[in-house]
Amino acid sequence: MAYTVTPTPAGPVGSQYCVCKVELSVCGQNLLDRDVTSKSDPFCVLFMEVNGKWVELDRTETAVNNLNPAFSKKFVIDYHFEEVQKLKFALFDQDKSSMQLYEHDFLGEFSCTLGMIVSSKKITRSLLLGNGKPAGKGMITIAAQELSDNRVITLSMAGRKLDKKDLFGKSDPFLEFYKPGDDGKWMLVHRTEVIKYTLDPVWKPFTVPLVSLCDGDVEKLIKVMCYDYDSDGGHDFIGEFQTSVARMCEAQDAFPLELECINPKKQKKKKNYKNSGIIIVKSCKITRDFSFLDYILGGCQLMFTVGIDFTASNGNPRDPSSLHYINPMGTNEYLSAIWAVGQIIQDYDSDKMFPALGFGAQLPPDWKVSHEFAINFNPTNPFCSGVEGIVQAYSACLPHIRFYGPTNFSPIVNHVARFAAQATQQEAASQYFILLIITDGVISDMDETRHAVVQASKLPMSIIIVGVGNADFAAMEFLDGDSRVLRSYTGEEAVRDIVQFVPFRDFRNAPKETLAKAVLAELPQQVVQYFKHQNLPPINSEPA
């Protein structure tokens, strides 16, 4: 089959509301040698089957000149007990710097389900070629670990007076971190970047899950090895030491922890051997990396508001060609969108009272145009009870209003933003606002809407826009900042992407849950991103 690289998946692979994450560690043994003058330079690519197609999820680093690689980059996957999650691990020999997989030599692949790996915890299987025959003696070992512990450790490391390993010039040092495996062997956990031409390196701070580094046990011994990098893969050993996370946590910004880097062979040979340099733990901090589920379980409420487009371009609601015409089945595209999104979000709001607003219509009795009116005609209490309440209020208001124009979004965006701004005064991850706008066309107040969205990006708020009908929705794509950062007319940039746009026509013939998945795809990460940016933990979270 042809492998294609997927730059960014259009939506999430599997549901966002996963029970847990699973980390997969991959090793290869006796891989095929595809290089003439040296050994293969393998990397592993993970694919998941989505709708009958293999979609690339992630890939490891490249192991230079190595037929028995242990990859330090781990694959992290959302695990769903109720789904058959088909995975494929494909190994390639890196030949060029290209991201296209067909540019690299294929070393073999192995397919299975995530359930198989999880139930066995660790599996070793033969690699197969595209024709189903064995890829020589090549084997793959995959080990699974549940990442239920959400603690992460951030380490800032440096070195001083490391041994010089290069004849001409200084060393090019890097560190490798190991933890004891179940089989008693040391297992590679993390590899730092290489710092060129120095005996006093300062590595970039790095963050890894605490479970990865020490199985969550801060007293467990871990081994740190220091090497001098060589481009041919034959890295020179400088020295090593053993320590624990608890010991490294003694390091403070003003009081770094210094550990001797020892080369056991040199230590045996030389009487007056002291060390092969000092490795310095400049700082070591343990924090929690909270997930969307952590915030929801911590008591965060999702506050849902609907904004409905009642402009004249929708057509007379009594005419079957109108987008607001309710067909004999009791539905239309507006109602379908309300149901699809509302049914999922209502589970996250305890009182299930949702404001439903309209825009672009003339209202009785004086027939003035309004761009933010309560569709239940009760401006002091625009709340509807549950999604059913929104649907009833929508159907009831249609005969009493005149569709007009223009299509102004900014009043409704600013309306919800006022409530989101009030919520920030609580300084807790207690509320997050979601505005669903359903519209048939082109925005009239684009400058004001852009400005409103840029301001709203600083608040606990996301906007979902569902485009109904067959209009040109290019302006909506512009608001959805997936491809570029949205800017206000003042030049101010949105601090994060909060708009998700979906044209309903793409889902007319699809199962109704697919629309919900598409429009809610980015929401969990938007919630987490906002609260992390504000340094707000879940309300009922334990300290790390």
- Inter-residue long-range contacts of 343-346, CB under 8 Å, 24+ positions, other chains counted: 343/387, 343/516, 344/516, 344/520, 345/302, 345/304, 345/434, 345/520, 346/304, 346/386, 346/387
Residues 6+ apart with CB under 8 A from 389: 354, 356, 383
CA distance 304 to 393: 16
Whether pTM exceeds 0.75: no
pLDDT band at 12 (very low <50, low <70, confident <90, very high): very low
Whether domain 19-147 has CATH 2.60.40.150: the reply is yes
Q: Give residue 514's Cα distance to chain centre.
A: 19
Q: What is the pLDDT of residues 215-234, one digit of tens each?
A: 999 999 999 999 999 988 88
DSSP β-bridge partners for residue 152: 209, 287
pLDDT at 174: 97
Taking 50 as the threshold, does the pLDDT of residue 2 lie above it? no
Domain 293-534 indexed as CATH 3.40.50.410: yes
- Specify burial of residue 543 (Cβ count, 10 A radius: 0-12, 13-18, 19+): exposed
3-state SS assignment for residue 514: helix
Q: Are 414 and 437 in contact (CB under 8 A)?
A: no
**Looking at 191-195, 281-285, 462-466, 473-477, which range is the least confident one?**
473-477
Q: Domain spans of the chain? A: 19-147, 151-288, 293-534
Q: pLDDT confidence of 9, banded at 50, 70, 90?
A: very low
Query: Does 19-147 match 151-288 in CATH topology?
Result: yes
What does the pLDDT average to over 306-319? 95
Q: Is the dihedral of CA 411, 416, 422, 425 positive or negative?
A: negative
SS3 198: coil
Phi-psi sector, 222: left (phi>0), alpha (psi -120 to 50), beta:
beta
d(CA 432, CA 534): 13
Q: Given CA atoms 419, 424, 428, 434 in this order, what sign does their dihedral have?
A: positive
pLDDT grade for 387, boundaries at 50, 70 and 90: very high
Question: For 502-519, what is each residue's pLDDT tens digit?
Answer: 999 999 888 766 887 788
pLDDT higher than 80, residue 210: yes
Position 401, amino acid: I
Split at pLDDT 50, 70, 90, the class of 282 is very high
**CA 75 to the chain's CA centroid:** 13
d(CA 67, CA 333): 56
CATH node for 151-288: 2.60.40.150
